[in-house]
Amino acid sequence: MNQEKTVRDKVFECCAQLESENKSITRNVVRLRTGGSNRDVSKYITEWKEQNNTAITVATNTDISQQTGESAAISSEAAPTNAPIQPAISQADIEQIKLEAQQRVKAKRLAVIKVAQYYEENPNLLPEEMRKEIEAEEMAAISCSLSHRSYYDPNALTQAVITSM
């Protein structure tokens, strides 16, 4: 039976080939060569890099443990540290993260607007304290306009215009 390779196998082979060619391993390049979704390709590239780094670390540790006389001559400053290795982040990954963040912000802000509209239409759902604050402000606005009632009275306006002539 001739089985077709999985996306994972294709990605692993592509990564190994790109590494042997000393080319940058990016999601876009690998995806163009192998197909598959961005999510799967990214996941498999990360898995391949982790396996590759583990293999290098094991090989390095084996070489170091085989050295006998030379290991005593190495100073503590030249010894390798256990600092975490920062993987190279592609520009496409950065753009994807920015796009997802923008979409989340957009979704949240639109949801806030829609919920605010719903509360505007159904003020009885607001907490009692908020309803009282709103009512007090509305009453203050109404009483302010009532104090200038003559300004809005058509008879008073007509009389003021006629007397000014």
pLDDT tens-place string over residues 115-162: 989 988 998 999 999 989 888 888 877 766 556 666 667 777 788 888
Please name which of 15, 13, 11, 18 lies closest in space to residue 34, comparing C-alpha atoms: 11
Please name which of 6, 45, 44 lies closest in space to residue 25, comparing C-alpha atoms: 45
Report the amino acid identity of residue 64: I
Question: Model-level pTM greater than 0.85?
Answer: no
